[in-house]
Amino acid sequence: FLSVTEDLVRRRAEHNNCEIFSLEEISLHQQEIEKLEHLDKWCRDLKILYLQNNLIPKIENVAKLKKLEYLNVALNNIERIENLEGCEELKKLDLTANFIGELSSIESLKCNIHLKELFLMGNPCTEFEGYREFVVATLHQLKYLDSKEIERSERIKALQNYAEVKWKIREQEQAYLLKRAREKEEAQRRMQERKDKEQKQMDSKLGFDSSDCPQKKENHQAEGDGEQEGCRTVENDEEDRRFWEEPTPYTPESRLETHRYIEEKRRAKDNIRETKKREKPPWTLVSAEGKVLNVNVPKLHFSLKDDEESNQIILDLAVYRHLDTSLLDVDVQPTYIRVLVKGKPFQLVLPEEVKPDSSSAKRSQTTGHLVVTMPKVCKIV
């Protein structure tokens, strides 16, 4: 799983000169974080913490943030409210679009006496009959619930019906928790099926089972590779279609499964891309007949000057101004010059024969261009 790292926190603390100990506000939204940790040790002065749109399943490791005033953990996988008792200055808590069905867990917020605003929209508990009355009667310190102000008359009425509403909430809560238990079992089953399928595919790739693809062993290797690649593509497309079309309940497990599926697909594409890069055929620098070719793979501007007065040929190659010189490799031969720019070849046939040992290469201090000076073999008479 992905957790909060010191490097991530420092990068997100640019506004504080990357200092994290004195940090008062930090935004860690959309970082694919799956575990909330370390912040209570590293950033004790935090007042505002944005963690929305991650994959956090549990509120934890924030109890030492005594100065925290606003916590935003909207769009995560949180199922109950807990471990916030130590946040003594908490005034605003945003839990929008999580999976909180254990509504009675809001009772843990009674300790947060400064809490004025609470957001629970988009959680299963908001569908419970008596949801708002229960929250209003439980948390006397609240001023706003789901952006709507709590009127004095509303609180009085909620308190009058509290016993009855609390009983109804407990009943609905138990039904919801039973449903969640079934969903977790189903998620476990789906995960096991997927693991079994992946193992079967792995065995197939290792040659234990050739039935998945119509390719016969006796076929030519080149043809076999092409057919296997086509077979894999069809299989992947079919797997994609099944994954996205299969109806599944919206749960923390399905949200996490979707995220990991997308990540796996992305990594697989990156691996294919890297493999293709590595398998790219080498550039043709010399023809089959042995003729040296002019090549400009990096597509750089250049000029070739025949300095008759000094009896030398000068190449001015417009390499990128900020390119590190260590990424340039110059090779002067009697009849041609080759320069590798970040591994990409620039090659030019020279109009006259030159002396490689007497040639020199340097970067222009004004333009950053590579300037290669190549003395000719024969002096002009």
β-sheet bridge partners, residue 362: 371
Residue 198, token pair as written in the block: 């992946």
Neighbours of 348 (CB within 10 A): 20
Closest-CA residue to 332 (of 376, 270, 363, 272) = 376
| Encoded amino acid at 340, one letter | L
Residue 209, token pair as written in the block: 């089972």
Q: What would the mean pLDDT of 346-354 be, rounded to a whole number?
A: 95
Residue 69, token pair as written in the block: 């005033």
How far is C-alpha 58 from the chain's CA centre?
Answer: 21
What class, spelled out in words, does domain 295-375 have in CATH?
mainly beta
Closest-CA residue to 370 (of 298, 291, 289) = 298
Length of the chain: 381
Task: Give residue-wise pLDDT tens across range 310-332.
Answer: 999 999 999 988 888 889 999 99
Residue 365, token pair as written in the block: 């201090």
Element (H, E) at 340: strand 336-341
Euclidean distance between CA atoms 306 and 314, whole angstroms: 6
pLDDT at 11 over 80: yes
Task: Report yes or no on whether pTM surpasses 0.85.
Answer: no
Euclidean distance between CA atoms 314 and 335, whole angstroms: 14
Task: Give residue-wise pLDDT tens across range 16-59.
Answer: 777 888 899 999 988 889 999 889 999 999 999 999 999 999 99
Q: What would the mean pLDDT of 129-142 be, rounded to a whole number?
A: 97
Domain(s) of CATH 3.80.10.10: residues in the chain: 6-179
- CATH code for the part of the protein at 6-179: 3.80.10.10
